[in-house]
Amino acid sequence: MKPARIVMRRTKREPVLWVVDKEQWPRACLRAELIERGYDPYGFILLDDALDYLSKGKSPKPEALILELRGQNLTSRSLQVLQNLMIPTIVLGGIVDLNDPLVQSRQWKVVFRRPFSLGEVADSVERIVPVRPAAISSSSRTRLDRP
């Protein structure tokens, strides 16, 4: 007898998030954690890519943004566009990234300074954007039995 598989059905009623990180694996791991918690995270390498996708209608406006500062080429213009969108933003960075005057000139919802865990970041997301009850109940697990 083959082991049963568990499948999660996504309803697209889950809160949309953006995860912006130049490094693939940290971005993928955080997205996986957020999916497990009932969110619909979109991953982007650069903040400018995310803003471009939004302006072209390829991505819905997120309810929150997680922005890893490492490797980002932030500009006053991109940060102003982000501020105008009024998206709660969680910023992740090291001392050098967080001491950048451009970064310090903005107000962020939450700031994490390395070291931090993905679980701490996901917990912070849950405090800012609670998962809707409809998303929790409709993303129920379905068991697929194979003969």
The domain limits of the chain are 5-144
Flag whether pLDDT at 58 surpasses 70.
Answer: yes
Question: Rounded to two decimals, what is the model's pTM?
Answer: 0.82
Q: What is the pLDDT of residue 11?
A: 60
Supply the mean pLDDT for the chain: 88
Flag whether pLDDT at 22 surpasses 70.
Answer: yes
Closest by CA to 91, choosing from 56, 61, 128, is 128
Q: What is the pLDDT of residue 7?
A: 46
Q: Which fold has domain 5-144?
A: Rossmann fold (3.40.50)
Higher pLDDT, 27 or 135: 27
